[in-house]
């Protein structure tokens, strides 16, 4: 890290405090576990470094679209079991820690899904958990709907391998959402990665294993902006995977531009109804019967849009 960037980080930390920080794993007894074996888990240090570098190179253009800079920092020797995003005006950070990479059963695809979640905090928009960061549920949804879609849509031969790896219930859902075989295979791959990561979250939090066939949640009375349980997170991943609507990477939904009057110190996210409508232009919504299978689930999200929208 250059001295200039270091100064920006230190200054921004003092200025933005907790609003500048978002993690993929909620607090639990394992988030600061120290592994005695540096090679524990499925990923090697080389795979870890190459995956993070690949992801950063792939999405650097997204930050440029929004006049920002994306910086991925990897810490293989750091035993922290987490990933995090930090946002300092036009600098977007994603921090990747070795403790998370050495989790049992975490593979390259699950790490890419995790990185997508952190990128989402910067670019996925409405609903917001802070002045800049998308809500945790929206970060999960964006991860499969937009980010993995972009990363894997051309991996047609690789995606074919997941037709026999996906669980039967998720497989059936993918087939109902897509008629094209290539898009079905991509959905299968997303589902496999989603279930793998959700099961890891369940184990970290000490909750029951995720059941891919469970979809009957008690609807929330208000949107939950922080982390929810692993079962709901899996359903959110799946809803993103089942949504065929193309995401518009040039718009951060609900982001108030810096040129408005009065001029804010930086563009801020809005949770007003207009922001929800703007978000609906890029994602599936309950109000459209053809999109309901891919709409954000009511285990964390309260949909305020009427059927007439």
Q: Is residue 268 part of a domain?
A: yes
> Is the CB of residue 297 less than 8 Å from the CB of residue 241?
no
Between these two residues, 134 and 37, which has the higher pLDDT value?
134
Q: Is residue 162 part of a domain?
A: yes
What is the rounded average pLDDT of the residues 68-94? 93
Measured CA to CA, the distance from residue 290 to residue 63 in angstroms comes to 32
Would the CA dihedral through 8, 13, 19, 21 be positive or negative?
positive
Between these two residues, 203 and 20, which has the higher pLDDT value?
203
Between these two residues, 17 and 101, which has the higher pLDDT value?
101
Q: Is residue 99 part of a domain?
A: yes
Q: Is residue 302 part of a domain?
A: no
Q: What are phi and psi of 37, to 5 degrees?
A: -100, 110
The per-residue pLDDT for 306 is 63
What is the rounded average pLDDT of the residues 206-235? 95
What is the rounded average pLDDT of the residues 64-92? 92
Q: Is residue 6 part of a domain?
A: no
Q: Angle 300-271-120 (CA atoms, 0-180°, nearest 5)?
A: 65
With b for 16 or more beta-carbon neighbours within 10 A and e for fewer, the 84-93 pattern comes to bbbbbbebbb
What is the rounded average pLDDT of the residues 135-157? 98
On average, the pLDDT of the chain sits at 87
What is the pTM (predicted TM-score) of this model? 0.89
Q: Is residue 308 part of a domain?
A: no
Q: Is residue 306 part of a domain?
A: no
Residues with Cβ within 8 Å of residue 147, at least 6 apart in sequence: 59, 116, 119, 120
Q: How confident is the model at residue 1 (pLDDT cuts 50, 70, 90)?
A: very low
Pick the most confident of 88-102, 229-243, 248-262: 229-243
Structural domain boundaries, residue 145 = 20-245+254-294
**Model confidence over 223-254: pLDDT tens digits?**
999 999 999 999 999 999 999 999 999 999 99
What is the rounded average pLDDT of the residues 124-152? 97
> How many domains in the chain?
1
**Model confidence over 49-77: pLDDT tens digits?**
999 999 999 999 999 999 999 999 999 99
Q: Is residue 9 part of a domain?
A: no
The per-residue pLDDT for 258 is 53
Residues with Cβ within 8 Å of residue 228, at least 6 apart in sequence: 136, 137, 236, 299, 300
**Model confidence over 2-29: pLDDT tens digits?**
444 433 333 333 333 335 568 888 765 5
- 263 has pLDDT over 90: no
């Amino acid at each position: 890290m250059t001295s200039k960037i270091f100064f920006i980080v230190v200054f921004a930390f003092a200025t933005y405090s907790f609003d500048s920080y978002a993690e993929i794993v909620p607090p639990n007894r394992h988030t600061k576990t120290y592994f005695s074996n540096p090679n524990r888990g499925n990923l090697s240090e080389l795979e870890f470094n190459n995956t993070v570098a690949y992801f950063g190179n792939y999405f650097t253009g997204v930050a440029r679209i929004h006049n920002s800079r994306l910086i991925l920092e990897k810490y293989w020797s750091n035993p922290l079991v987490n990933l995090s995003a930090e946002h300092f005006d036009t600098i977007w950070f994603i921090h990747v820690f070795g403790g998370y990479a050495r989790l049992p059963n975490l593979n390259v695809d699950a790490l890419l899904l995790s990185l997508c979640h952190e990128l989402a905090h910067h670019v996925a928009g409405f609903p917001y958990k802070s002045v800049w960061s998308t809500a945790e549920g929206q970060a999960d949804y964006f991860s499969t709907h937009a980010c993995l879609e972009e990363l894997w849509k051309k991996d047609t031969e690789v995606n074919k391998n997941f037709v026999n790896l996906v669980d039967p219930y998720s497989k059936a859902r993918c087939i109902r959402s897509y008629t094209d075989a290539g898009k079905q295979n991509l959905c299968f791959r997303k589902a496999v990665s989603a279930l793998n990561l959700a099961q890891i979250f369940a184990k970290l939090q000490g909750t029951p294993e995720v059941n891919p066939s469970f979809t009957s949640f008690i609807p929330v009375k208000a949107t939950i902006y922080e982390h929810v349980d692993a079962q709901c997170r899996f359903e959110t991943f799946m809803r993103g995977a089942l949504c065929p609507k193309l995401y518009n990477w040039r718009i951060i939904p609900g982001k108030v531009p810096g040129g408005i009057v009065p001029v804010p110190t930086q563009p801020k996210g809005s949770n007003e109804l207009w922001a929800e409508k703007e978000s609906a232009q890029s994602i599936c919504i309950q109000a459209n019967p053809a999109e309901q299978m891919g709409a954000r689930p009511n285990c964390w999200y309260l949909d305020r849009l009427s059927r007439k929208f």
